Amino acid sequence: MELDLTGKTALVSASTSGIGYAIAAQLLDDGANVIINGRNHETVATAVKHLANRFGEGRALPLVADLSTAAGATLASARYPDVDILINNMGTYALSDFFDTSDEDWQRMFEVNVWSGVRLARQYMKAMLDRGHGRVIFISSEVALTPMAAMAHYSASKATQLSISRSLAELTRGTAVTVNAGLPGPTETESLKEFI
């Protein structure tokens, strides 16, 4: 499917590699300007440079911020106040025995996988509703529907993303704003290769 996203601006959280990078590249190919996000200056600069070489200068825009934090979300909206497409891709995962998974492990999983998307949607979605158009997409996981005992905290965080996306979709009635969630399965990224 080909889309004409010329003139649109997309923010893809955690987009210097893996699924986020692939989404960013596709959006650029479809004509959008894309905010490339990561926590490290070097990785963001490298990703922006590679994408600029493929799609032209000035359309891959850097954002160095930890979007799992409130400060990171505030920085994002201050630097890039207008976003037409928000892809909540940021996520982490871990195998962990349920009885050994600490409160801190659960908290970190939800900060990254859930709170990052909640904060960004809160920052950007109201303006989308005011304009009457926009897209919000949460990159969830198949484990949201088929949870794994060895990844209980991860599975729960991904199921929560589904619930949030459905709740936010209810706010879009009568507009051309949509909120959806994608549920990919295991994807052969560099981080997955390191994980296994």
Known catalytic residues? 154
Q: Nearest CA to 148 among 190, 93, 105, 102?
A: 93
> Rounded to whole angstroms, how far apart are CA atoms 55 and 57?
7
From residue 127, give the alpha-carbon distance in Å to each of 10, 113, 147, 171: 14, 23, 34, 13
User: With contact defined as beta carbons under 8 Å apart, do 7 and 77 qualify?
Assistant: no
> Rounded to whole angstroms, how far apart are CA atoms 193 and 187?
9
E strands in 46-175: 60-64, 85-88, 133-139
The structure tokens 């994408």 sit at 51
> Rounded to whole angstroms, how far apart are CA atoms 28 and 87?
13
